[in-house]
Amino acid sequence: MSVTQLNPVSAKPTPYLLESLADFPVGETGCPRRARMQIDLMLLAIEALDLSGSEAILAMARELELQSIIPNRVALWRMRSSNPLRRYSQRRALTLPEAKALVIIGANLARRLTVLIRQLLLAYQQLTEKQLSLDHHFRLSDYLERFRVHFRARMNPRRSAVAAYTDEKLNQLAIEQLTQLLFCTGTYGMQRFWNSLFDGEVA
């Protein structure tokens, strides 16, 4: 398969669904660094929640008719590898349509996981109030462990920003991602999350 075939830029019409998110002037450099990181972490949390992992992301891409942007696993990997913290980070721009597609897919998967997300956040709140270890709740502990494993397997340990994450900090990051996912399930939550990715990043 040639590099041209793997290129997510397509001559096909832009999917109508992308119009639900605002356009920002990102230029040839693509989406800002923080946006690339946050989108990848959002999807990392979904993979820690859903055992089907990237297959669920690709299945949702097909369901939402976003295959022209995310046609296969390789294209998905290349997009997510635009996260500079990745172990095999790709020096490529994440285009606005690609970023929109990933956020829309993530938000739709989050909606399907809403009950589980609420349960885990409630368990976290209750354990914190009682000053109990997070290991006291099996499903929460399992999610946190999977998130830590995914993070360490995919992020570059030689980067200071990655090396700084202890187990405790990764647990906190995982909880923050749950909160973000739940936020995306609310009314206009996806749009507000999308806009937040560009706060202070564009003129």
Domain with 154 in it? 31-195
Average pLDDT for the chain: 89
Per residue in 19-44, pLDDT (tens digit) is 999 999 887 778 999 999 999 999 99
For residue 127, being part of any structural domain is answered with: yes
Q: Please report whether residue 16 resides in a domain.
A: no
Prediction pTM value? 0.88
Dihedral sign computed on CA atoms, order 86, 91, 93, 98: negative
Is there a domain that residue 54 lies in?
A: yes
Mean pLDDT split into 10-residue runs, the chain, 203 residues? 41 74 86 94 96 90 94 94 88 91 96 97 96 93 97 94 95 97 94 91 55
Domains contained in the chain, number: 1
